[in-house]
Amino acid sequence: MNRGFIAALILMIIPGFAAAQNSLYQDYRARQVGDIITIVLAENISGQSSTKANTKSNSAGKASSSVTGTLTKFLPVFGADASLDYNTNDDISNAQNQLLKGTFTARVDTIERNGDLHIVGSRSTEINGEIHTLNLEGYVRPEDVSTDNSVLSYRIADAHIKYLKKGKVRHRPGFVRKTLFVILGLAVAVKAIKG
């Protein structure tokens, strides 16, 4: 009986050891449709453009004449003078920087014939009344997926990363602030009534 118990115990323990040993060497990288993959967002895009234009134009004109006769004794000479100066100095510059950092999780949507993974993901959060939405789609080579099942965003081919923000920040004064305004308003009203 003692040997039967030990044999049964060994048979129950051996599959557990095999499963534990198998998990030590198992690769958890995304490889199949439906697998989850972590994207490390490291997008830093900057651009700058500048346009400069100088324009200078001068125009001048002069006319003079004299009138004789009795028609206008008090204005014997007629003359006109005109001058026009036009200067512009236009300097237009534009600079734009975009920085998107963080982590994001997507899933494998399809696998291409060459083995590349087509990934798709979406995440939406609401913070103080603002809805932040991040959508991502692209192709990842299996060799670019690290051992911790993550890939850098700049290693995603044909990446479509869209970040949208909707709504306005809700700013609500706190209870103490509201109470102080009510007390202050009442004090001013009482003071006005008493004179």
Tens digits of residue pLDDT in 27-42: 678 788 999 999 998 8
Measured distance CA(135)–CA(154) in Å, rounded: 15
Give residue-wise pLDDT tens across range 135-164. 999 999 999 999 899 999 999 999 998 888
Q: Percent helix, strand, coil in the chain (nearest 5)?
A: 25, 50, 25
Q: Is the pLDDT of residue 24 over 60?
A: no
Is the pLDDT higher at 101 or at 178?
Answer: 101
Pick from 89, 90, 81: which is nearest to 63 by CA? 81
Beta-bridge mates of residue 37: 106
Predicted local distance difference test score (pLDDT) of residue 130: 85
Predicted local distance difference test score (pLDDT) of residue 27: 67
Predicted local distance difference test score (pLDDT) of residue 102: 85
